[in-house]
A and B are shown apart, each in its own frame.
Chain A
Amino acid sequence: MIFGFPILSTLIWLPIIGGLIVLFVGRDRDQLAKWIALIVSVLTFLASLPLWLEFDKTTAAMQFVERTSWISQFNIQYYLGVDGLSMPLVLLTTFTQILVVASAWEVIKERVEQYMGAFMIMQGLMIGVFVALDGILFYVFWEALLIPMFIVIGKWGGPNRVYATIKFFLYTFFGSVFMLVGFLYMYFQSGSFSILDFQAMHLGMTAQILIFLAFLIAFAVKVPMFPVHTWLPDAHVQAPTAGSVVLAAIMLKMGGYGFVRFSLPITPDASMALDWLVIALSLIAIFYIGLVAMVQSDMKKLVAYSSISHMGFVTLGMFLVFDILQNTQSTQGSMIGMEGAMIQMISHGFISGAMFLMIGVLYDRMHTREISAYGGVVNTMPWFGFFAVLFAMANAGLPGTSGFVGEFMVILSSFKANPWYGIVAASTLIIGAAYTLWMVKRVFFGPVSNDNVAQLKDLNAREFAIMATLAVAVILLGIYPAPVIDVMHTSVENLLIQATTSKL
């Protein structure tokens, strides 16, 4: 906190209150609603910058802490703070939000104020998830998020949106109930809902295993991991563009964040005992889901599956430490995997966001996502083709783009844990390139395939600005990831100590 100014609260409540204002004053005044949304999201982004600028990289302790009692009977607190694990994700959220608002500018025509309001409230809640340090507060944000997303898909979604929303709701709700039970158990043991107290408390092996599994179900659904991933492609396909962007860029990260904030530090011994499970599911995600992505005929489904496959690197990188420790009696090499996982989350935020925005650009013009409806788009949309190839290459993990950084680090580390992990993980080099570039070939290259494609207009200024912003982010992170890694470094170090210190 600088000068006692509650930055984190501002980041949560500014967009939520802004969203409420938009809801109340924006009815039938679309322009006003849009401008308020844009201004608030820019302000939120600016307000989040001090987190980066004033961040103390030398400590793993929580920073910008705010703490007051909330429901004192149960010792539930309004307790906020960030460390190197969460701060980059907060910035990713505030950054993405501006693009989300901009992407809807001319596209959404009905109930603009509700659409904008939903996304603004969602932003506040997502930031809340990343900065909450009280279990119940975290849970409230986590669950409350489902509602605006449910509305966004259900109201502005595609023809099959009811099926998708209910599937989405069911899966995630099913997952998080277990998490709540875990929190309650630990509360009754420790008398506190503070996440830091959870991390410090003593837990027996049986309790750890049960809690670990409860967390695993909650986070695996969010990430999502095989076999609880099938809600994601449906949700993406039905969601409007911005919904997909938020879903892929931010909400999936909450699952990954859950592992580093809860599973590893709270249940280290169970994590060690069950790391094979997470690793196996991650490798399945990388290989199996990659192949599934290849045979999709709907662009959004393809990118959704590709998302799952890339998130496999996140969960893989996080759980390598135990194998490395066991094989070499030292954790040397596991930090590469952990930091790779963290940076993969940021990078995936940019790239998956960009991919879904691109599909949105096409969908707005042609109203179809079928790959076969396209062909030769680059002939009529050269600038768009340029960005498409750039983001496709980033999705395929080309060095020089952000997509490479995390994959490379996780592959290096996983090979050290077990060469076969490395071999399966490295298969993404081939599979990832295959599904991404094959789609690019069918959609963008070749002769103009039909009259609709012939009529396409290239990016307008707004779309160009969105694409260019993401392109800069993807390339900057690709050629100079050091600043982001540096910010995480101390916290990751601390996390590895927590994860490898037995609680028994």
Chain B
Amino acid sequence: MALKFILTLILLSPLFGGLMAGLFGRRIGRRGAHTITIFGVAVSTILSFYVFYLFVWQGHSPYNDSLYTWLVSDGIRFEIGYMIDSLSATMMLVVTFVSLMVHVYTIGYMDHDEDYDHHNPYYQRFFSYISLFTFSMLSLVMANNFLQLFFGWEAVGLVSYLLIGFYMKRESAIQANLKAFLVNRVGDFGFILGIAVVVMYFNTLDYTEFFNGLAAHKDTTMSLFPGTEWSMITVMTILLFIGAMGKSAQMPLHVWLPESMEGPTPISALIHAATMVTAGIFMVARLSPAYELSEVALSFVLIVGATTAFMMGLLGMVQNDIKRVVAYSTLSQLGYMTAALGVSAYAAGMFHVLTHAFFKALLFLAAGSVIIAMHHIQDIRQMGGLRKYMPITYVSLLIGNLALIGFPGFSGFFSKDSILMAVGDSHLFGAGYAQVLLYIGVFVTAFYSFRMFFIVFHGEESEYVKTHQIKESPWVVTLPLIMLAIPSVLIGFPLIGGVLSGSYFADAIHVLPQHDVLGEIYAHHYNGPFDMIVHALTTLPVILALSGVVLAWFLYLRAPGLTDKLKATCFRGAYVLRHAYGFDRFNEIVFVGGARKLGEFFWKGIDVKTIDTGIVTNTFTSIAGMAASLRTAQTGYMYHYAFVMIFGLLGMLVWVLW
């Protein structure tokens, strides 16, 4: 009972703050809005720490209870409730903590905004949105059933839509948010069908009942095309994964994420890096008992993840917008997490979600700090030599980068190295392919991260930097940087053992013995975190990462002219990368254009021409002719006649009745 109250408080206090700031924003003013929302999220954060302590440290047994029944139909209970175990407790902590940091940061970031005059309560609106996002994301991760999962899933999509389009006067922003919503809906299309399979075969939406029913359906098949029989579990898990591909931006549904950078930077950190985009990873980990039963689905997941990790990483190399560099690195890292899921290393994938949340939020907020200093210029070519003006931001971004490239000892090292080892150890179809791509990806990641880093902070000062006063951001901005930098460095040490051995997520993630690559690594290769660091220094990933950094240093600091020559020699490759493989163009022509053409044809070709003109008009013209002659005789009185008709009718009715 007490726990239920605490959980409800965690869930609802951001909602309360968000509603207050949104509906009464003008009345409570800026200070009121940020006070009340930060208070709400702070309550959630503190209580989430407690829940984390209870379920992860103390090993409290999983908590599963419903809050209320949404509806009951055909004996199936559609409920709203909580399933709390190490997995959800971890996500709750990540979501609330990063959200709290972003709330504080926003005070500094949104202080002045040239898009709005001072009377517009955009500031309150922004706080309202990020609090509502926190509520939605919490309801997603705390869910104990598919209905609530879907509710949270769509609700975060809504808030993401509102925030990407936050600068709603900008055409690019409102184009980006429409695109984000629709691409996510393509994923949700698969997702809802996956849920439909669950209901069809398991007659429940409840996770526990669903897991209990899995064993009986191991060999169930279903037929989508006559003559074909597919494993039902495979169809179901792949459909659900399509939902994850939308939300976690896996190829080919990744196209919305780079453009989501149209939103203000704090939400790029919170939603489009740390939390929402990891919902897909979380969902697959949550449903691990089902994914374990289909190696086809796992291979599919693995190949999609590895492909995304590699191809999106390449795109990071040619970006000049500081946020886009970080956005493509997010896409690529999401690919790593997905690949981890594919080889049944769910714990490693979730671990990367956790470390990535800290260091990627750090990177985005640091990038935002640079953007503040540069008066909202985001092109890295206009920066340079910022190091001496903004030391805290400089160190934060460096820490974030080192964690990102998996520099030994940093949090990202532990999580990424476990993924790489797991993929290397797997015998699943596609594991070899994935391993090659993920290893090259390590090099690429290091290269583009430090390319951006060197261009922004080192090198020569640009005209803009020379002529403008650049200064370090205020404390509300730097404090969250410091708070995020700490876990970005340290979080790996205490957790890595539990992740590999399987004890961390033991109550939530289920891996079949023959798939348990992490357990094997733990049994044969693991001797503590420090040994892991020492051992890694001689292995390929670290060497690749360091060569990436060195190459970036060489090309951008040592021999800056060389890049132009390189671009000239590989202009075809550069062209392909600059156009991001042409996905946008393809979608624009085939899907958007195709749907419009089809709509036009249905409307003008069938509705208007065939039905209306062809069939109806013949009947209609005669009637219309009649009506016209009637009208010329008694123009304007037709409605009187109609009234008389109805009164007559009613009168008759009444008369006969009594």
Contact = CB atoms under 8 A, between A and B. Distances in A.
A168 B656 CA distance: 30
Interface in B151-167: 151, 153-155, 158, 161-162, 165
27 contacts: A68-B657, A140-B649, A151-B642, A291-B595, A295-B596, A296-B603, A333-B203, A334-B74, A339-B73, A398-B155, A398-B158, A399-B154, A405-B71, A411-B196, A416-B199, A429-B189, A429-B192, A430-B182, A437-B178, A441-B174, A441-B178, A445-B169, A446-B171, A480-B70, A481-B70, A482-B71, A489-B73
Contacts of B185: 429-430, 433-434
Interface string A166-178: 1100100000000
B199 A412 contact: yes
Interface string B623-647: 1100100010000001100110111
Contacts of A293: 599
Contacts of B75: 332
Most buried by A among B69, B155, B595: B595
B197 A415 contact: yes
Nearest to B184: A433
A227 to B, nearest CB: 5
Nearest to A305: B603
Nearest to B197: A415
Interface residues of A, number: 79
A155 to B, nearest CB: 5
A194 B188 CA distance: 46
Identify whether the interface residues of A are mostly helix, strand, loop, or mixed: helix
A427 interface: yes
A400 interface: yes
A426 B192 contact: yes
A255 interface: no
- Of B189, B200, B642, B653, chain A has the most CB atoms within 10 Å of the CB of B200
Contacts of A294: 595-596, 599
Contact of B603 (A148, A155, A295, A433): A295
B200 A416 contact: yes
Interface stretch (B266-274, B367-375, B611-619): B611-619
A290 to B, nearest CB: 8
A481 B624 contact: no
A163 B602 contact: no
A114 interface: yes
- Closest 10 CB pairs between A and B? A415-B196, A291-B599, A295-B599, A335-B74, A399-B151, A445-B174, A482-B71, A292-B603, A416-B200, A447-B169
B620 interface: yes
B598 interface: yes
B188 A399 contact: no
Contacts of A426: 189, 192-193, 196
Nearest to B205: A412
A22 interface: no
B65 interface: no
Contacts of B627: 162, 166
B193 A422 contact: yes
B650 A16 contact: yes
Given A166-B627, A399-B151, A433-B181, A412 B196 contact: yes
Given A333-B200, A447-B169, A427 B189 contact: yes
B79 to A, nearest CB: 10
Contacts of A393: 158
Given A295-B600, A434-B185, 13 more contacts: A70-B657, A144-B649, A147-B643, A167-B620, A230-B612, A292-B602, A336-B73, A415-B199, A430-B185, A441-B178, A447-B169, A479-B70, A485-B72
Contacts of B181: 433, 437
A288 interface: yes
A121 B651 CA distance: 13
B656 A151 contact: no
Interface string A140-173: 1000100110110011000000110011001000
A237 B155 CA distance: 33
Contacts of A438: 178
A150 B638 CA distance: 10
Contacts of A144: 646, 649-650
Contacts of A427: 189
A154 B638 contact: yes
A376 interface: yes
B421 interface: no
A230 B200 contact: no
A431 B594 CA distance: 13
A78 to B, nearest CB: 6
A400 B136 CA distance: 11
B602 A400 contact: no
B188 to A, nearest CB: 5
Given A412-B195, A423-B193, A485 B154 contact: no
A78 B175 CA distance: 58
Nearest to A23: B643
Interface string A314-343: 000000000000000000111110011000
Nearest to A415: B196
A399 B642 contact: no
A378 interface: yes
Interface in A12-27: 16, 20, 23
B74 A333 contact: yes
Contacts of B189: 426-427, 429-430
Contacts of B171: 446
Contacts of A155: 639
Interface string A351-383: 000000000000000000000000010110000
Contacts of A53: none
Contacts of B188: 429
Contact of A78 (B182, B612, B616, B657): B657
Interface string A423-455: 100110111011001100100011100000000
Contacts of A389: 162
A133 interface: no
A127 to B, nearest CB: 14
Interface string B205-248: 00000000000000000101000000000000000000000000
A50 interface: no
B186 interface: yes
A120 interface: no
A332 B203 contact: yes
B29 to A, nearest CB: 16
A230 B222 contact: no
Contacts of B643: 23, 114, 147, 151
Interface string A62-78: 00000010110000001
A479 B598 CA distance: 36
Contacts of A423: 193
Contacts of B645: 147
Contact of A336 (B74, B155, B596): B74
A409 interface: yes
B478 to A, nearest CB: 33
B168 interface: yes
Contacts of A429: 185, 188-189, 192
A150 B602 contact: no
Contact of B620 (A121, A170, A437): A170
Contact of B656 (A70, A154, A289): A70
B576 to A, nearest CB: 28
B182 A437 contact: yes
B127 to A, nearest CB: 16
A419 interface: yes
Contacts of A230: 607, 611-612, 616
Nearest to A68: B657
Interface centre among A163, A295, A411, A482 (most CB of B within 10 A): A295
A148 B646 contact: yes
B76 interface: yes
A446 B70 contact: no
B74 A332 contact: yes
Nearest to B223: A419
Contacts of B598: 291
Contacts of A482: 69-72
